[in-house]
Chain A
Amino acid sequence: MLNPISLAFKKTKKEMRPALITYTVAGDSSKKQSLEILKAISNYADILEVGVPHNTPVADGGQIQTSAYRAIKNGIKMNDIFEIVSDFKKSKNSKPVIFMGYYNMIFQYGENNFIKQCKKSGVNGLIVVDLPWPENKVFSKKCKKNSINFIQLLSPTTSNKRLKSITKDSHDMIYYISMLSTTGGKLKESPKKILANYKKIKYINPKKNCVIGFGITEKTISNFKNTDGLVVGSQICKEITRSLSSRQNPVINVSKLVSKLRKKIS
């Protein structure tokens, strides 16, 4: 049986479009609101990345940092985040969920415990920003055993040798970081070059679903229509911040934005 993440890709491939993957921070701006946002955007997105906020994030730019600090300040805890996912999974329009976070949160929860909770609440995949290959070998195997996708990251600095080894050890989905940047940076690489790197990865193993993230926004997304999937994060976090500061409803605004993103790649 295919896992829900692979199923989602199968569906979007049939529709001849990339999967739309959104990133929002759990607990931004509150536990309740972040759940409402997930429910609203899952009408348009195919896979939902849920950010586990951390207060010393070494790879996140200003937008996601702001969201994460806001969530932590409002008291979000790891167990709340699992609850958000399990509540979301009970909703009628639920989609596959991927956690994205930093290793210390998993380490403190205990690797085995963390995986157990992921299974129980319905988390389908994990991206651990600061647990690269080969350091992640043991943990990713544990994930696989429990039918959780451990999603390997690749970047423009990844050597060819590494590309091959990492792809070999990866599960169904891989994440290509488009450029040298923290999240939320302006796209400083040409789409042509990014797509060339993307093809290089696909050539190693065409079966792996490879998504592109970093620098993907409403403005740039249509350049990457011929890919397996695209991740939009910072623009969504920014929209939440903007909505809050202008006293508008973030749920409605974010949902509008994600619907627009979806149209651009459909």
Chain B
Amino acid sequence: MKLKKGIPVIDQADKLGFWGGKFGGNFVPETLKKPIEDLEKQFNKLKSNKKFIKERDKYFKNWIGTPTRFIKLNNLTRHVGGAQIWSKVVSDANGGAHKIYNATVHCLLAKRSGKKVIIGDTGAGYAGKMLSMAAKKFGLKCKIFMGAKDIYRQQPNVKAMKKNGADVIPVYSGSQTLVDAVSECMRYWVANCDTTAMCVGSTVGPAIFVRICGWSTSQISRELKVQLMNEFGDIPKKIKLYNCVGGGSSSFGFWNEFMDYDKKQVEFIGVEAGGPAKSKRHAAPLTYGSKIGILHGAAQYVNQNNDGQIEETESISAGLDYPGISPLHCFLKDTKRARYTAASDEEALKAYQTVTKYENLRPSLEPSHAFSVAIKEAKRLSKDTIVIINSCGDAYKDRGILEKKLGKKYVKSN
């Protein structure tokens, strides 16, 4: 299996949508073949259409607010005492997370194809919140599918979705988290694909959704490349890009533009959710060597039992609480372009405390996983190494959990 140079990773899938011949694909009911084919045709045409890209960039700039900041975390660097620690503050984006890029692109596509309704899944609530914002902006009706457990633990985002006029549909089946929300959303699409557009909230699902999402979030690394040039005059010799990985949309977008660099110069580190310490129900299929299986239309490493039933996961961060992982990351793992590891709930909480203690930055529980590993590794790295963490979400949505775990005082003081 080989990663090709000079071709965007999203375009390296074969005719049937497989990366490396075995990840991804289109394991979908016959009914969805046509709408998926239509979307493929539309996207393949538009992704190199100058007018469309201009339109996308206009909304990215004026509405989402690009570029998001690239800042040095001086206090944290001093405290850790190793590599320079920087952050790409993607949570600056309108709505507070990277999910806005994919949501905006899907709404632009839906609008062009004449669809009136757009549906989407959500775990942490960010994908749902952003889709509801974009739908409102572009005059589309919006339905968001969300696990009942997630609705309970991510209330601020639920309120935001409702405020934007979206229907939030609770999903009570299975573990009542993201995996069930995606299933239910796909089922709804099966029944309504003639009038409705679907937005999959991450780089997961049938191949076309993986591609659209990866294409959209790549905005992050496009900006970062420019910012690195402005800051250092060149791409530094030793960079390490840390990112949390649930479905894998923010990490893929954070890395994409650096894909062709040697990994000795630009290393990618993906941090999965290990769940509570000692838990067997982790959400880290790449770290803990899960087998390949089919989930939500794509072949990927996924937590499952011997029979092929998908296993429930457990993580403090709803956004990472997913048993599978993007086919893109399976591909990057097997081609050894990226390295994957996991952080536990406790480690993520500790990292959140450390970051908020030293910096004026509040990463949500998802990027706190990435901070945890970055802080640990940065200690042992030389001063000329540039460690960059994608702070892809804001902790506002986690208020309830943080208050419960760390105490009211702590949350208020930040």
Task: Tell me the A residues contacting B by CB distance below 8 Å.
Answer: 54-61, 65, 69, 72, 77-78, 102-109, 129-135, 153-159, 162, 177, 180-182, 185
Contact = CB atoms under 8 A, between A and B. Distances in A.
B296 interface: yes
Contacts, number: 111
Nearest to A130: B27
A58 B187 contact: yes
Contacts of A134: 16
A157 B33 contact: yes
Contact of A130 (B29, B292, B307): B29
B295 to A, nearest CB: 6
Given A55-B309, A180-B31, A180-B191, 20 more contacts: A56-B180, A58-B190, A61-B187, A78-B307, A102-B294, A103-B27, A104-B310, A105-B308, A107-B292, A108-B306, A108-B308, A153-B29, A153-B30, A154-B30, A155-B31, A156-B31, A157-B33, A157-B35, A158-B34, A182-B187
17 contacts: A56-B183, A56-B296, A59-B31, A65-B173, A104-B293, A104-B308, A105-B307, A107-B292, A108-B306, A108-B307, A109-B307, A132-B29, A133-B30, A135-B26, A155-B31, A157-B32, A180-B31
B307 A157 contact: no
A108 B304 contact: yes
Q: Top 6 A-B pairs ranked by shortest CB distance?
A: A108-B308, A157-B34, A104-B294, A104-B308, A155-B31, A130-B27
A102 B34 CA distance: 20
Nearest to B291: A108
A131 B16 CA distance: 12
A79 to B, nearest CB: 9
Given A69-B174, A132-B29, A132-B33, A182 B294 contact: no
A160 B297 CA distance: 24
A95 B104 CA distance: 53
A132 B28 contact: yes
B170 interface: no
Interface string B1-45: 000000000000000100000000111111111110000000000
Nearest to B309: A55
B192 interface: yes
Interface residues of B, number: 37
B33 A162 contact: yes
A163 to B, nearest CB: 11
Find the residue from A72, A109, A132 having the highest chain B CB count within 10 A.
A132
Contact of B30 (A105, A109, A155): A155
Nearest to A153: B30
Interface string B217-236: 00000000000000000000
B308 A177 contact: no
Interface string B180-213: 1001001100111110000000000000000000
Interface of B: 16, 25-35, 173-174, 179-180, 183, 186-187, 190-194, 291-297, 304, 306-310
Find the residue from A54, A131, A180 having the highest chain B CB count within 10 A.
A180
A157 B31 contact: yes
A132 B26 contact: yes
Find the residue from A156, A157, A158 having the highest chain B CB count within 10 A.
A157
A248 B196 CA distance: 41
Contacts of A162: 33
Find the residue from A106, A135, A185 having the highest chain B CB count within 10 A.
A135
Contact of B293 (A59, A108, A132, A182): A108
B281 to A, nearest CB: 14
Contact of B173 (A69, A135, A157): A69
Nearest to B324: A56
A3 to B, nearest CB: 23
A154 B187 CA distance: 17
A60 B34 CA distance: 19
Contact of A131 (B27, B192, B304, B306): B27
A107 B308 contact: yes
A58 B308 contact: no
A166 to B, nearest CB: 8
A134 B30 CA distance: 10
